[in-house]
Chains A and B, each alone.
Chain A
């Protein structure tokens, strides 16, 4: 589904992403895991051209994304960021309708899709006319996800989507969201620095350091066969019960 080939990006003297390659299969959830500054967010942002690579290519469905207009590309890729990234002046209904409107859907379809999503995401009907400032953190995150999923994109990119939530709410919301049938068909690339989140959600984890992938594998294999001490230490560091 997504093929990243020898991607490099430098900011000044700092090599954020260094000759990185990976592929993500359709329907897979790939987690980019690592410390801050390891290049995971830059890698993610090069997948929807919010950052342009110095060299290397990204293809989605076999098509080089550099050959497509950036806004068109992004409308076909869901994008979720910390705290939802909601526009303060858009109501929940307007937020969810953002991408369908950009794509020129008719109003009935938009309305139907909006109601479907808030039902699935367990947002109250009354929230449709609320502004983000009137929502709880967990609700904002759900609206952010609803906005990303509204146009049924085959690919969703998530950048620390639960970073603004307290640990309890975070676990609760992410279990709920990732239990959605909406996401089961979708290819997801998720960036986090939270090991337990990665272990819980990922089909595969790419553990990154200094702009490179140190090891990419399923959570079980990573735990069982770490390639070096860095991987072992990173995964061991969190004294939390593990999930499959």
Chain B
């Protein structure tokens, strides 16, 4: 609990800004929904034949899961405040249209008849009788919409629109409970607070409620204005993944090593690439072998001062398995140095963007490298079990190893793909559930070994020093052997559109920092 308060105190500025943005997003969309929803509700109350269709459409919109809705909107509206507002607007629409409609149609016919009978025009009946009488029901709709929107607005952080979701998703990515709570508790308080104050307003009778309603409508644009607060004043707009922004070896490391100062937008890591392709951001964090680097013609900035730890890929094997199957080690080492960054990026690109099966991608690679051999027929008595994590690169590596080993040896390979995260793979390896899996040196260092700070400080963050460090420690601590590295490093990287980087003369992170300071 003290962690939580410390976190909140240290991030008070950020928390305040996020809360304002969150309120802004909630109320801009609510305002839009009122502007569209109330007239629509009035219209279908007048033309009841259209009511069921209209409410049906609004109802269907309501059932689309929010993440999916954002997914649909991104190709159309890109990232940022646009898709977030549209999604929130669509969610707020149903309660407002429905409650306007119900509120008006439930006004008793004898009251409407009396209104007509005393000489009110249709407009006067609407504004003096129907709407005031529908107000409590309409208010209930506004309440529902507000509470829904406070909740859904957390998802705005997926698309770089800010809000309290930044802490929630950042916290989830970093397994930082204090950070999650710092976003979740204010979001919950906002929902409860708005709900309670609107409920109070709803209980007021007649005139006070109408006055309160007007005050509320008057406040809407002010509250909405908060949405515009989070403007970045940087020369280049950065869009970083939540995890990268929070992890010590991510953005904080860059700040320390290069003195980089940015106000990044936080965004889901899969949407980041789309955002830079569309020019909505100019600089993203990413992984150096991602297929999209090739697909979108991005330039990976050289980490000339080694802020990012190296993440060289190499198979980690149980010593027991190496002893039992002597052919295994030499077979694995045949790949050493064959998969450079650009080769691996291309393979990822083939699988992710050309939609080639990992099996086909792996075979083509082995054939080109002259390592492909058709497995010799016959019974294979001995079996090695290989694991992999759940992303494209690991699926491809798993296929390469399977085809390589079955071609080069008489071992049978069983693949256990989809072992989730690092910890699961590592535990499977230690217990003997699998014999080897491809791991990255940086992950071995920071996630598994987790050496104390002074050891880390003394260790140069260079490929070979990190490799020999983890190799030694794994052998001693766990009887696991790091085979020779494959040749590529899937590390954090900053990237820009190649053309823009070229125009600005930026090739390394130092160039970037110099450009930003100019």
Interface residues of chain A, those whose CB is within 8 Å of chain B, are 48, 50, 71-76, 79, 81-83, 85-89, 91, 98-99, 102, 131, 147-148
B115 near A: Cβ within 8 Å?
yes
Number of interface residues of B (CB under 8 A): 17
Closest Cβ of chain A to B105, distance in Å, is 16
B120 near A: Cβ within 8 Å?
yes
B119 x A82 contact (CB < 8 A): no
A85 x B119 contact (CB < 8 A): no
A75 x B118 contact (CB < 8 A): yes
Please indicate the chain A residues that have their CB under 8 angstroms from the CB of B111 in the complex: 85-88
> Once bound together, how far apart are the Cα atoms of A147 and B121, in whole Å?
17
Other than A48-B117, A74-B119, A86-B114, give 4 A-B pairs with Cβ distance below 8 A: A83-B110, A85-B111, A91-B206, A147-B118
B133 x A89 contact (CB < 8 A): yes
B114 x A99 contact (CB < 8 A): no
Interface string of B109-136 (1 = CB under 8 A from A): 0110111111111001000010011000
Interchain residue pairs with CB less than 8 A apart (16): A50-B113, A50-B117, A71-B124, A72-B119, A73-B119, A74-B119, A79-B117, A81-B117, A85-B111, A85-B113, A87-B114, A87-B129, A88-B133, A98-B118, A102-B118, A147-B118
> Once bound together, how far apart are the Cα atoms of A74 and B117, in whole Å?
6
> Once bound together, how far apart are the Cα atoms of A75 and B115, in whole Å?
11
A79 x B110 contact (CB < 8 A): no
Closest Cβ of chain A to B454, distance in Å, is 74
Please indicate the chain B residues that have their CB under 8 angstroms from the CB of A87 in the complex: 111, 114-115, 129, 133
Please indicate the chain B residues that have their CB under 8 angstroms from the CB of A73 in the complex: 119
Question: Which residue of A82, A89, A148 contacts B206 across the interface (Cβ within 8 Å)?
Answer: A89
Please indicate the chain B residues that have their CB under 8 angstroms from the CB of A99 in the complex: 118-119
CB-nearest residue of chain B to A69: B121
Closest Cβ of chain B to A145, distance in Å, is 13
> Once bound together, how far apart are the Cα atoms of A139 and B262, in whole Å?
72
Please indicate the chain A residues that have their CB under 8 angstroms from the CB of B206 in the complex: 89, 91, 131
> Once bound together, how far apart are the Cα atoms of A131 and B206, in whole Å?
9
| B113, B118, B124, B133 interface centre (most CB from chain A within 10 Å) | B118
Please indicate the chain B residues that have their CB under 8 angstroms from the CB of A148 in the complex: 118
> Once bound together, how far apart are the Cα atoms of A83 and B114, in whole Å?
11
> Once bound together, how far apart are the Cα atoms of A73 and B133, in whole Å?
26
Closest Cβ of chain B to A19, distance in Å, is 25
> Once bound together, how far apart are the Cα atoms of A148 and B114, in whole Å?
10
A89 x B132 contact (CB < 8 A): yes
> Once bound together, how far apart are the Cα atoms of A99 and B117, in whole Å?
10
Please indicate the chain B residues that have their CB under 8 angstroms from the CB of A83 in the complex: 110
Please indicate the chain B residues that have their CB under 8 angstroms from the CB of A147 in the complex: 118
Closest Cβ of chain A to B125, distance in Å, is 10
> Once bound together, how far apart are the Cα atoms of A8 and B234, in whole Å?
78
A71 x B120 contact (CB < 8 A): yes
Closest Cβ of chain A to B453, distance in Å, is 69
Closest Cβ of chain A to B116, distance in Å, is 6
Known: A87-B129, A131-B206. A81 touches B118 (CB 8 A): no
Please indicate the chain A residues that have their CB under 8 angstroms from the CB of B124 in the complex: 71, 102
Please indicate the chain A residues that have their CB under 8 angstroms from the CB of B110 in the complex: 81-83, 85
| A86, A89, A102, A147 interface centre (most CB from chain B within 10 Å) | A89
Closest Cβ of chain A to B290, distance in Å, is 62
Please indicate the chain B residues that have their CB under 8 angstroms from the CB of A131 in the complex: 205-206
Please indicate the chain B residues that have their CB under 8 angstroms from the CB of A88 in the complex: 111, 133
> Once bound together, how far apart are the Cα atoms of A102 and B116, in whole Å?
12
Please indicate the chain B residues that have their CB under 8 angstroms from the CB of A85 in the complex: 110-111, 113-114, 117
Closest Cβ of chain B to A199, distance in Å, is 27
| A87, A91, A102 interface centre (most CB from chain B within 10 Å) | A87
Closest Cβ of chain A to B209, distance in Å, is 9
Please indicate the chain B residues that have their CB under 8 angstroms from the CB of A79 in the complex: 114, 117-118
Please indicate the chain A residues that have their CB under 8 angstroms from the CB of B113 in the complex: 50, 81, 85
| A74, A75, A82, A148 interface centre (most CB from chain B within 10 Å) | A74
Which residues from 312 to 366 on chain B have a C-beta closer than 8 Å to any C-beta of chain A? none
B133 x A81 contact (CB < 8 A): no
CB-nearest residue of chain A to B206: A89
> Once bound together, how far apart are the Cα atoms of A182 and B124, in whole Å?
28
> Once bound together, how far apart are the Cα atoms of A98 and B116, in whole Å?
12
> Once bound together, how far apart are the Cα atoms of A89 and B130, in whole Å?
10
A50 x B116 contact (CB < 8 A): yes
B114 x A102 contact (CB < 8 A): no
Please indicate the chain A residues that have their CB under 8 angstroms from the CB of B120 in the complex: 71, 102
CB-nearest residue of chain A to B205: A131
A71 x B117 contact (CB < 8 A): no
> Once bound together, how far apart are the Cα atoms of A74 and B122, in whole Å?
13
Question: Which residue of B119, B129, B132, B133 contacts A71 across the interface (Cβ within 8 Å)?
Answer: B119
Closest Cβ of chain B to A175, distance in Å, is 24
Please indicate the chain B residues that have their CB under 8 angstroms from the CB of A72 in the complex: 119
B114 x A74 contact (CB < 8 A): no
> Once bound together, how far apart are the Cα atoms of A73 and B121, in whole Å?
11
> Once bound together, how far apart are the Cα atoms of A82 and B206, in whole Å?
23
Closest Cβ of chain A to B106, distance in Å, is 12
Known: A71-B121, A88-B133, A89-B133. A81 touches B114 (CB 8 A): yes
Known: A87-B129, A89-B206. A75 touches B119 (CB 8 A): yes
Closest Cβ of chain B to A42, distance in Å, is 13
Interface string of B79-119 (1 = CB under 8 A from A): 00000000000000000000000000000001101111111
Closest Cβ of chain A to B280, distance in Å, is 49
> Once bound together, how far apart are the Cα atoms of A88 and B114, in whole Å?
12
Please indicate the chain A residues that have their CB under 8 angstroms from the CB of B205 in the complex: 131
